[in-house]
Amino acid sequence: MLTLLGGIALLVLGYFTYGRYIEKNFTIETDRPTPADTLRDGYDFVPMPKWKNAIIQLLNIAGTGPIFGPIMGALYGPVAYIWIIFGAIFAGAVHDYMIGMISLRNNGAHLPELASKYLGKPVKHVVNIFTMLLLLLVGTVFVTSPASLIKSFTPSWMTVGMITGLIFIYYIISTILPIDKALGKVYPLFGAILIISTIAIGSSLLIGDHSIPNLTAGSLTNWHPDGTPVFPIMFFTISCGAISGFHATQSPMVSRTSTNEREGRFTFYGMMIAEGVIAMIWAAAAMSLFDGQTLSQMIASGTPSVVVNQVSILLLGNVLGTVAIFGVIVLPLSSGLSAFRSLRTILADYVHIKQDTLKKILMLTIPLYVVSFGLTQIDFNLLWRYFNWANQVTAVISLLVATRYLYLKGKNYFVTLIPATFMLYAVVVYIFSQPIGFGLGLGTLTYVLSVILTLGIIGVFWRSGKVQKNDLSPESDLLNDHLIPDNVATDTVG
């Protein structure tokens, strides 16, 4: 119990201390006009109040990640707490804040455009591929996971496939609506359900007769029943609760609706901290109610949704437990919708099709949903593994963009370079060692090759940054945050 309460306290303290430092290091300009005003179009660029932007950001970035990830991460024992706490404060929240604020300074540009500007145009194509792949996987994963949860409340004749189809219909309808109608009207209700259900689960866990594992010298070991190593697997399993590249695809959406830079710390940094709190509660619940072997068997029997059902019912009973399950359902529904909305706008920017008519919106939207529906037929656990790797590669790219931005500005860039280097090493070890990559296993060869490749990539990144900075003139838009003139798609269709 002490570790859970202490961890939550550290997360909150991190928001008020390190979060304030990150804001100061970025140097906000409270009188600077935002894209919501300068590019207002009544669809994607719409001014919205701070509280509504924060709720949208939380629901956009959360999905099932801060619940499913910590549930599977609970297999490693209390060591999972460390990654959630310090990952959220020093990596994830910094990542979300920097991309959100850099986007705010650049017409609400998405990650591929930002990578093109700060890392070089050739990088744009690579980042576009990774970002669109990630969003397609996210959208698919966040369709299959709520479908599995909803199935437990429906008659036997209603199949998971039918529920999946209904979710896609909801997504299509919501995608063609302006953001203040599609998200601004519904998300406050979804947010209320999420907050109430999270508080209910956490309170029941604390006041009930449950033995919540604490982090001690004796428990600081790998509890995984299959002996799966902590590094690097746990750092991919628990992503949304600590650091997630998916968030870099969502923050620009809210940067297009924010009205003042002073909102950034609460909206971007603060909502990642809130996600860390959610992750702490669900990791503690999974550890407290089930031993590792039982938890592993439950996850293997289907998806972590099985554990969500059991945790909710055991802690809250049938009625309140059902409400809590609905609180979990709204997360992937909202994040899945946001993933497809971001995917459409990124693709539109890339192929230069302005999204100003229903025909042009559907021209890009329908094919994306068709591909995603096909992916729902693939095993969830296989999708999750590919999602995890693509997710953390995107996080590395985002942190490198933020590092270059701070370096060119003469700011403290170590706040992003350090987590970028750590996550890059984890990504390289993962792809060398795992079956979805080179399958070398976790041995000396993998670790040595990973160190060499990581240092090589960082070396190239550092050298290109020095060249870029030496070639800059005082009037360069890289130094003065001039808006990117072509980041909003232009019409090339008849």
Residues 6+ apart with CB under 8 A from 412: 25, 406
The answer to whether 264 and 285 have CB atoms below 8 angstroms apart is no
Identify whether 206 is part of a domain.
yes
Q: ω into residue 232 within 30 of 0, thus cis?
A: yes
CATH of the domain at 141: 1.20.1740.10
Cβ neighbours, 10 Å, residue 220: 11
Give residue-wise pLDDT tens across range 466-487.
999 988 877 777 777 765 544 4
Give the whole-number percent of the chain exceeding pLDDT 90: 40
The whole-number pLDDT of residue 373 equals 81
The angle subtended at Cα 201 by Cα 198 and Cα 204, nearest 5°, is 140
The position carrying tokens 């090589």 is 456
Identify whether 486 is part of a domain.
no
- DSSP label at 266? I
Consecutive H or E run containing 309 = helix 305-351
Q: Between 269 and 133, where is the model more confident? A: 269
Give residue-wise pLDDT tens across range 80-109.
999 999 999 999 999 999 999 999 999 999
The closest alpha carbon to 234, from 84, 133, 451, 62, belongs to: 84
| 51-56: average pLDDT | 92
Q: Number of structural domains, the chain? A: 1
Identify whether 488 is part of a domain.
no
* Amino acid in position 173: I
pLDDT for 494 beyond 60: no
Identify whether 99 is part of a domain.
yes
Calpha distance 237→69 (Å, rounded):
5
The whole-number pLDDT of residue 304 equals 64
Q: Give residue 380's domain range.
A: 2-480
Identify whether 44 is part of a domain.
yes
Identify whether 286 is part of a domain.
yes
Calpha distance 386→321 (Å, rounded):
31
In the numeric block, which tokens belong to residue 286? 């999974």
Give residue-wise pLDDT tens across range 117-127.
999 888 888 88
pLDDT for 46 beyond 50: yes
Identify whether 127 is part of a domain.
yes
In order, the DSSP letters of 104-154 are HTTTT--HHHHHHHHH-HHHHHHHHHHHHHHHHHHHHHHHHHHHHHHHTTS
The closest alpha carbon to 297, from 281, 286, 313, 283, belongs to: 286
Identify whether 490 is part of a domain.
no
